[in-house]
Amino acid sequence: MTIQFNEETFRDDYSFYNSDWAIKRFPFPFHEDSYMYSVNMEQHRGGPKGSVYEMRFDVDEHYVSEMRDRAMVLADDPLRCQSLPHMTLAGWDLLELIMVSKSEDYPDLFELHRDGNQWRWINKPLGIDDTFTFMDETTLPYGPMEYITRQAQGDFCVLDQRDEMLWMDAGMVTTQADWSLDFDIGMNFFEWHAPVPLAHEMGIFKRALKFLLNIQQGAPARRLNWTMTVNPLLDTSPENYHKWGIQKTTLTPENIGSKQHLRVELQSFFRLPRSNALVFPIRCYLCSFQDLMTVPKWGRRLHRVVRDLPVELATYKGFIDNRPMMLDYLEQFDDGLPTSRGVFPDLETEPPLTKA
Amino acid sequence: MSAAPQKAKPGAEQLAVRVSAVVPLNDLVTRFEFQRTDGQPFPTFSGGAHTVVTMQDDGRTRLNPYSLMSDPADTSTYAISVRRDDQGRGGSLFMHTRVKQGDEMTITYPVNLFSLDLRARKHLFFAGGIGITPFMSMIHQLEQSNGNWELHYSVRTEALGTYVDELKYKFPTKVHVYYDDQSQSIPLETLLDGQPLGTNAYVCGPKGMIDWVHATASAAGWPDAQVHSEEFLAPAPGKPFEVRLCKSDKTIQVGENESLLEAIERAGVEAPFLCRGGACGQCETDVVSYDGEFIHRDHWLEPEQQAGEKIMPCVSRFVGKSLELDR
């Protein structure tokens, strides 16, 4: 399949949009009509054809525009990409993982030709054709992690594993849900999760850490996380909160359908072979409420989830003030009918909205 | 999350291999080299990683972990070195007496529970006997990145000095060998004194040696996080005992020469595992009730957990009237 890449922006005029194809494959995160934390991990070994779960690193219609947005963020703030000195080997591991995966999964878009340590990488969507020496940083325009993550959608945290603990020792973070790599760099797993409410008391992080420490080569895992974002902003960072935080006050009953977006992170976890580090790609997908409402099952379910979410979570996710307006909007799309299990749209089997 | 969640399988991913070489190194140690049967390259790995080898021994499945000692960057061949243990439960004897060049076997993807701290300014290795194996791959890895390392290797005799000649030939200034039968021993206190700031120490060998290095380093003021060790426990034989598995509603007998984990698997009950050597924590199992005494041999559980709360079935056993597990 050849992807038509959108010409769009994630800032200023917000021309971002999802095609019908992108809406139907949106990773809707709620498998039932309510939501509570769980470690909710599963193996990352493909998924239904055409879904965002199918490939190791999903490439979609937003690829070229997202990479352009990343370059702009980095130009303004180079500290969004950092790698402590001992993480260079992990950077090469990541470069290899992404190049091999993309060239195998999308041979029409990416090519990798290897002759010993002489590698040629062709990225057709971005117009890149580079030859370099694997493991020789001087032959690339950036360090290996920065080089490849300027060409891969989603944020990347590269975690060192030492003393039965994970450490945030490298990353490329420009599309984050209000956290800062520059603040978290060098922190351990419990330190960087300290701001999350309820989950510590529930023992979630202890269990999650144990799971992650045991992720092995050849057996990657994945999970979903979600939040809410007003306007299709990729860069909702603390560094730029003064720019985007205020936009949460611009919601009105008239514009909420197009301005309010559900933001979903497809998080995956791969053990890196040479460094024994763990890479944690966090891929952000955005979908406006009005686009989500074209899927009757999602309309019914989103209303119920947002309505019943504990106050702590709605506060932490930053939409407690807008929740009443969201519910007024979403309520129109919930006719009280039951919903099918699982996250997929089930357009053929789920009844259309029966409410005027 | 998805329509059909995939349940995690016990153990690491498997690789089908053919034994490409069997190389006796001395009276006790033999090297086994593997190539993939599908002709694909092996995954690269990190120094210190191990693989779990599946042995089909007359209808009985044995799964033993061995450190990968080949060059981690060599994707054509994996190698392990196995020391024959005449008193053991038979895994190493099977490898020595039954495995021939050309045999097909199954091994797992590399798993690393003993990795290099890549922040270290210097890596100080202490090996005892067959404990040399993880350092072989670590040395390969560090040599490729101009890493600063030094090996102190204690062996019984010159004849049993596995890889001594090769190591001394390649790295004459970095490798120091000590022979027990010549009353030589590693001058540990001296070596731990005066290392550059940021040095990490690693030890692999018999339990006594590991404890000695940890205790000496600790007494000399080394931070615990800078002293790393790996001790693979082979499950020790022991008296047979009976176990009730309440989730699966089965009562099983654990034989003298099998581990509790092996007995659980033999009964067709799926149990998680990874290292099968008491180190990784994957097979941790809740104790429901017991009347008797545990023989805990793992490095994983806290003492209070060992007091009747949990057991690591890969290496630990039980003696007494009854034991009921949540499995």
The CATH number that domain B122-230 falls under is: 3.40.50.80
* A15 occurs within a structural domain: no
Q: B289 to chain A nearest CA, in Å?
A: 24
Average pLDDT value over all residues in chain A: 94
Residue B4 pLDDT:
37
The minimum CA-CA distance between B222 and chain A, rounded to whole Å, is: 15
Given this model, what pLDDT does residue A355 score? 78
pLDDT tens-digit map of B251-262: 999 988 888 998
CB contact under 8 A, B281 and A161: no
Q: Min CA distance, B2 vs chain A (Å)?
A: 6
pLDDT > 70 in chain A, percent: 98
Closest B-chain CA to A222: B1
Architecture of domain B241-325: Roll (3.10)
Residues in B closer than 8 angstroms to A55, CB to CB, are none
pLDDT in tens, A166-199: 999 999 999 998 899 999 999 999 999 988 877 7
Q: Do B49 and A216 touch (CB under 8 A)?
A: no
C-alpha distances (whole Å) from A55 to each of A50, A171, B44 are: 9, 22, 22
Q: Is A87 an interface residue toward B (CB < 8 Å)?
A: yes
Q: Taking CB atoms and an 8 Å cut-off, how many pairs form between chains A and B?
A: 84
Distance CA A24, CA A20 (A): 6
How many domains does one find in chain A?
1
Are residues A56 and A101 in contact, defined by beta-carbon separation less than 8 angstroms? Answer: yes
Cβ-nearest to B43 among A31, A53, A273: A273
Residue A238 domain-assigned (yes or no): yes
Residues of A serving a catalytic function are: 223
A158 vs A167: CA distance, rounded Å: 8
User: In which residue ranges of chain B is pLDDT below 50?
Assistant: 1-8
Instruction: With CB atoms and an 8 Å threshold, state whether A42 touches B5.
Output: yes
Smallest Cβ–Cβ distance between A276 and the set B5, B73, B112 belongs to B112
pLDDT, residue B125, reads: 98
pLDDT of residue A1: 53
- Kindly state whether residue A7 falls inside one of the protein's structural domains: no
> Is this complex scored with an ipTM above 0.90?
no
A contact residues 164-203, partner B, Cβ 8 Å cutoff = none
**pLDDT tens string B78-130:** 999 999 988 877 789 999 999 999 999 999 999 998 999 999 999 999 999 99
In chain B, ranges of CATH 3.10.20.30 domains:
241-325
Q: Please determine, for residue A35, whether its predicted confidence score (pLDDT) is greater than 90.
A: no
A8 assigned to some structural domain: no
B residues 9..48 contacting A (CB < 8 A):
12-13, 43-46, 48
CATH 3.30.390.30 at B14-108, yes or no = no
In a domain, A1, yes or no: no
Q: DSSP letters along B90-157, please?
A: SHHHHHHHH--TT-EEEEEPPB-SS---TT-SEEEEEEEGGGGHHHHHHHHHHHHTT--EEEEEEES-
Using alpha carbons, list the distances in angstroms from residue A36 to A30, A228, A316.
Answer: 10, 16, 13
Residue B148 touches partner A, C-beta closer than 8 Å: no
Task: Work out the average pLDDT over A99-127.
Answer: 97
pLDDT > 90: what percent of chain A?
82
As annotated, the residues of chain B forming the CATH 3.40.50.80 domain(s) are: 122-230
Return the DSSP state at A188: B
**Which chain A positions have a beta carbon within 8 Å of B119's beta carbon?**
84-86
Residue of chain B whose Cα is closest to the Cα of A29: B1
With beta carbons under 8 A apart, name residues in chain B contacting A276. Answer: 46, 48-49, 112, 115-116
CA–CA gap between residue B81 and residue B134 (Å, rounded): 10
CA of residue A97 relative to chain centroid, distance: 18
Residue A274 belongs to domain spanning: 20-331
Q: Which two tokens stand for residue B14?
A: 């498997």
The CA–CA distances, whole Å, from A293 to A234, A301, A330, B199 equal 22, 10, 8, 59
Q: Is B212 an interface residue toward A (CB < 8 Å)?
A: no
What is the pLDDT at residue B2?
46
Contact map slice: A 238-267 vs B, CB within 8 A: none
